[in-house]
Amino acid sequence: MRIALGQLESGTDIQANLAAIDRFAAEAARDGAALVAFPEYATYEKKTVDASFPAVAEPLDGPVCQELASIARRHGIALVAGVVETSDEPGKAYNTLVAFGPDGGRLAFYRKIHLFDAQGFGESTFIKPGPSTDPVVFEAGGARFGLMTCYDLRFPELARSLADAGAEVLLVCSSWVPGTHKTEQWLALNAARAIENSVYVAGVCQAPPVSVGRSILVDPMGVVEADLGLEPGVQAFDVSLETVARVRELFPMFRQRRL
């Protein structure tokens, strides 16, 4: 199957962000992609998570998600994007990934569980961690996708739980905060999660300056098959479920591990 990575340069103008998502989804569909993935905070982003995030948050049936569903339906493509979702706690929102099918129906949603309280940032001041640690896996285009968000990439047990739940492709939707060695870590961790779980990893990131860019697709052997560099853009790539199955036979770790 064919999937696309949409590297955005999202800001605080929600309508402008949705327009960019629409353009990139149209381009991905024209290029034959069955699914297009966008970054964390795709519809609202700024350099620091602050009180404006819960202020703009909406429920998953609100106008922002309705427009994302409409984009998926209009272009006949599955779509995954990061949104700011209302929570039941005043002053806090959820950092949520939501997936829509090509008919506009909601396939899944995942509320980020590992919040970025590191490197001088305090995401949890305004964002509430997801209440469930259950792996979120959905099917689109004949493949099974698992959802992770940014800082989750540093927690290998989440990726393994998604693989155990049947994921063949991990979508790591991110706004990876820049810093010393951060790009190197981003690239290495995406490759590590692919190798240790015999899956494709599609790490789709916000572009600089808010993030590091370098959205990548890594195959189950750890080979980087695509790197979008630093500029906003969208590209489609083939993933082979036969490759996933072959690598899992070459390295039958799921049968051999001892817990």
Where would I find the H helices in 31-75?
Answer: 52-56, 63-75
The single residue of 40, 45, 85, 123 carrying the catalytic annotation is 40
Q: Of these residues, 112, 168, 173, 205, which one is catalytic?
A: 112
Which residues 6+ apart lie within 8 Å of 149 measured at CB?
40, 82, 95, 97, 110, 112, 114, 172, 173, 174
Inter-residue contact 170 to 80 (CB < 8 Å) = no
Place of tokens 């949104």: 83
Query: Of residues 150, 168, 173, 205, which has the active-site annotation?
Result: 150
Question: Is position 112 annotated as part of the catalytic site?
Answer: yes
Cis peptide before 209, with omega less than 30 degrees from 0? yes
- Residue 60 is encoded by which pair of tokens? 């998953």
Q: Residue 150 catalytic?
A: yes
Q: Is 43 left (phi over 0), alpha (psi -120 to 50) or beta?
A: alpha
Q: Catalytic: 40?
A: yes
Q: Point out the residues that are catalytic.
A: 40, 112, 150
